[in-house]
Structure 1
Amino acid sequence: MPGRPKSTSFIVEEDELLTDEEILAEDWRLTQLIAETTRIESTLQWCARHRLIANRMICENCDDFGTLNRLSRRQDFYEWRCSHCNRSHTIRSKSIFESSNLSLQQILLIIYFWSNNHLQQTTVHELNVSNHTIIEWFSLLRELCEESVTQFNEELGGIDYMNNPITVEIDESYFFHRKYHRGRFTGGQWVFWGDWAWFKQMPNKTSSR
């Protein structure tokens, strides 16, 4: 990585990792995101800071820290390798990117288009990927949001800091299920969701969107 040894045990410094509140407070533009993810090194750093990939690797075999090494034959030109037992892991291990053949930048841009309510066909055209790929990714992102919503159990509304009742605008969506994010849709449930601007101000929360 720029300015660091060729082999290191982390992608970014620990104090560079963003909190949930810091991530939710960001307001990205497409040109910014493209500029941040043009080079693989800066893309890995961006993903690590936003905790989309592991910043460090602990070997499951010997509990030793792995080192980050550049390797041209790897998909993202880097890999984690345990210095003790020599086992290796991809940069994408146990992340949303793990099973995809798309570049990290392409996936991040798909997430950007989806989160900004762009049409599927617009995303297909802009990223020059197949319609099937975009449908799969858009479906996966909706499912991840569903999982996040079902885990969120705090009461909406209440009293604000001036002791006035809070009015929460809600919307509803119908979520379908697919086993392991594949195959036909089965079952489903209605989910009612509160005002996003108000939710962003709540403490101790996580979100996939």
Structure 2
Amino acid sequence: MALSAIEPLKYECGWVNSILVLRDNLKEINFVIKQSQEHGVIDKEHKCGHCDNKCQLDSKRWVWRCQKKVAIGKQKAKKCNYSVAVFKGGWLSQAKVKAGDNLFFSGVYLDKIFTYEFIRREIGWTNNTISDWCNFIREVLENYCEVVRKPIGGPGKTVEIDESKFGKRKYNKGRTVDGQWVFGGICRETREFFAEPVLTRDREPLLAIIKIYVFPGTTIISDCWKAYYYLGIEGFDHQTVNHTYNFVDPETGAHTNTIERQWRSYKEWLPKFGRKKYHFRGYLARFYFLSRWKSLIDRYHHFMLAMAALYPPTN
């Protein structure tokens, strides 16, 4: 079954059936090879490093192997027997897991319903293995965001900005005792957005992020946090709403409801347990990627392209 057949199943039968179709496809070596070659994860062909002959793919051992017979002096011709790993320099170059299991895990991770329990049940990985591959995937997604992201807003457009504390309460009650500050913004007209973890909410780091992610001439709406006071002289049309008194400014109609809703969506996609501050950029990159590509087939396709871009084969 072709990978494109997954898409209708996603809507007719639900997430589990569609991802299990992917699992069944990835049990077929030829399917794994075809998908990996089409997305640039492995080369479509490879020339022998000894005799420049076109190698054949040994799918059982995942190596390119030269079968050409070569005569050496008066000796009887023997096979060149040159070989090199298919994934050399690529995504699975140092992996000790099956290629099909890895690609299946990647497909599962690209959905909100991803859980350790599901992976343990379906492919038998340990928690440590799952954690390691989560880190590898987040690395790919972070690189993807750096490549595709562009400034938002512009003249005639409005961007709401805000900072939010992503934290948890001890015993789920009382004041927030630990967490990570995240600064972000969203364009009302295009729904394009950005989010960056920050150490402090001081003027300098926030202004530096705004200059990277927001076009000059944009109308920026924020609350009355003091770090935003100088946006008006930095090339932006700055409006504020004082949340001490109103959620919507009674005179200008300014509000930050859009970015507030975005924060709720971000927090729904965060891991429920075991969150680490140093992984927050990866958590945010995952949310950005999954928000950009809504269907499983699109996510899987673009993730494999991003994987190949970051870890190209070096054969």
Structure 2 Cα separation of the partners of residues 65 and 171 of structure 1:
49
Q: Offset of 1:133 from its aligned partner? A: 0.3
Structure 2 Cα separation of the partners of residues 43 and 197 of structure 1:
22
Structure 2 Cα separation of the partners of residues 185 and 43 of structure 1:
35
1:196 aligns to what? 292
1:48 counterpart = 2:37: yes
Q: Offset of 1:188 from its aligned partner? A: 7.6
2:131 aligned residue (125, 135, 143): 135
Q: Would the alpha carbon gap of residues 189 and 142 (structure 1) be closer, same or farther in structure 2, given more than 3 Å must change?
A: closer
Per mean C-alpha deviation after superposition, the further-off stretch among 125-134 and 114-123 is 114-123
2:86 aligns to what? 91
Q: Offset of 1:154 from its aligned partner? A: 3.2
Q: Offset of 1:69 from its aligned partner? A: 4.1
Contact in 1 for aligned 2:57/2:64 (Cα 8 Å)? yes
1:77 counterpart = 2:61: yes
Deviations 1:125-170 (A, max 9, x none): 32211110000001110011111212235344679xxxxx842253
Structure with more relative contact order (C-alpha pairs < 8 Å, separation 6 or more): 2
Q: Would the alpha carbon gap of residues 168 and 126 (structure 1) be closer, same or farther in structure 2, given more than 3 Å must change?
A: same
Unaligned runs of 5+ in 2: 11-17, 71-79, 156-187, 199-275, 299-304, 309-315
Contact in 2 for aligned 1:121/1:131 (Cα 8 Å)? no
Contact in 1 for aligned 2:32/2:100 (Cα 8 Å)? yes
1:3 aligns to what? none
Q: Would the alpha carbon gap of residues 66 and 101 (structure 1) be closer, same or farther in structure 2, given more than 3 Å must change?
A: farther
Q: CA RMSD in A?
A: 4.2
1:122 aligns to what? 118
Structure 1 Cα separation of the partners of residues 293 and 65 of structure 2:
42
Q: What secondary structure, in the 3-state scheme, does the structure 2 residue paired with 1:99 have?
A: coil
Q: Offset of 1:172 from its aligned partner? A: 3.2
Q: Offset of 1:171 from its aligned partner? A: 5.8
Q: Offset of 1:109 from its aligned partner? A: 1.2
2:55 aligns to what? 67
TM-score, normalization by structure 1: 0.59
- Give the letter aligned to residue 84 of structure 2: H
Q: Percent identity?
A: 16
2:259 aligns to what? none
Structure 1 Cα separation of the partners of residues 277 and 52 of structure 2:
41
Contact in 1 for aligned 2:46/2:54 (Cα 8 Å)? yes
Structure 1 Cα separation of the partners of residues 42 and 30 of structure 2:
13
Contact in 1 for aligned 2:62/2:86 (Cα 8 Å)? yes
